[in-house]
Amino acid sequence: MEWKFHQEDVLYIRIDGDVVFLEDHTIPTMVKTKLDNPDTLMVSANVVNEGALASLHSHPGVALPYLPELQHTEQPSRSKSQLEHDWRASSLPSWEGPEDFKVQKGFKSPFEGHRWLLPHESRTDRDPIAGSVYTETGPSMQDWTVGAQQHYSFLHHLELDQLRRYKFPLWVNPTEPITMNFGCFWGKDVQALREIFGHKSSEMIYDEWVKAGGSRPNVTIDGKGLVSHYSSRQGVEGLDSTDLLDRYRAYAQERVCRQKTETRLERD
């Protein structure tokens, strides 16, 4: 984003290209919050597993103990078409693997198109988020394994109509930098936002966020409007080796793009 196009009296919504889910009311909710809080520099959506919200979305009951399947298993009881169009976590088998298995720092994808599964018995030290929070050998919160666990947890709650687990009213002036993945702002504030988010590295953004004296930008996260961001920074060796995009696509085809899909099927 070059931040070079703007009109001062226009209200902008920036939607990152890696957004894979948003609730129907997210944009109107953000706009109302911005209009109700005119001094706020920007209103961000409640973006799953991004920026200041990563820790919040990692709490037990929100992040579930999903683990990567370690070996490819054939599923002869279901057709290829069924498998390609099934996004529901309830259709997944239970995780199987060694008792001492843990997702540690530097964990490599087991195979292309692998899934993440819930074990029969949950433990507090083997999944990526638990390792990140409680151990020194676990991955960082920016690791692809943490992203995978967050996304499978999100799809789990989406199926069960439990997205309320992610919700909160407003978070004003968060202590850590937010992201620009889904934000609402006036054109007149573009230059101020560019000074914060125009940096290349997360370290530089953090330094800009927490200036001398402890002051932070006047921004607000609207916890009522939920967005899921795929996170391209985790690359082909990470999230791209899972079947997550297929699952989000299957959800969209079933719940969002039904009319288009039904029309295509009628023509076929």
Nearest to 64 by CA among 142, 107, 128: 128
Once rounded to an integer, what is the mean pLDDT over residues 249-257? Answer: 91
pTM for the model stands at: 0.87
Residue 79 lies in a domain: yes
pLDDT in tens, 178-192: 888 899 999 999 888
pLDDT digits (tens, 9 = 90+) for 191-214: 888 877 775 555 666 566 666 455
Q: Does residue 229 have a pLDDT over 80?
A: yes
Report if residue 141 sits inside a domain. Answer: yes
Residue 148 belongs to some domain of the structure: yes
Residue 33 predicted with pLDDT over 70: yes
Highest mean pLDDT out of 52-61, 71-80, 105-114: 105-114
Residue 110: inside a domain: yes
- Report if residue 234 sits inside a domain: no
Stretch 152-162: mean pLDDT, rounded?
A: 97
Residue 139 lies in a domain: yes
Q: Which domain holds residue 136?
A: 57-164
- Does residue 143 form part of some domain? yes
252 pLDDT higher than 70: yes
What is the average pLDDT across 170-182? Answer: 86
The closest alpha carbon to 67, from 2, 142, 153, 4, belongs to 153
Residue 226 in tokens: 């939920």
Cα separation of 59 and 40, whole Å? 28
Report if residue 205 sits inside a domain: no
How many other CB atoms sit within 10 Å of the CB of residue 157? 19
Mind listing the pLDDT tens digit for each residue in 63-105? 999 999 998 876 544 445 555 568 999 999 999 999 999 999 9
Number of domains in the chain: 1
Residue 80 confidence (pLDDT): 52
Burial string for 127-156 (b: 16+ CB within 10 Å, else e) reads: bbbbbbbeeeebbebebbbbbbbbbbbbbb
Cβ–Cβ < 8 Å for 116, 152: yes
233 pLDDT band (50/70/90 cuts)? Answer: low
Q: So what's the pLDDT on residue 49? A: 79
pLDDT average, residue stretch 152-172: 96
Tell me what pLDDT residue 77 has.
47
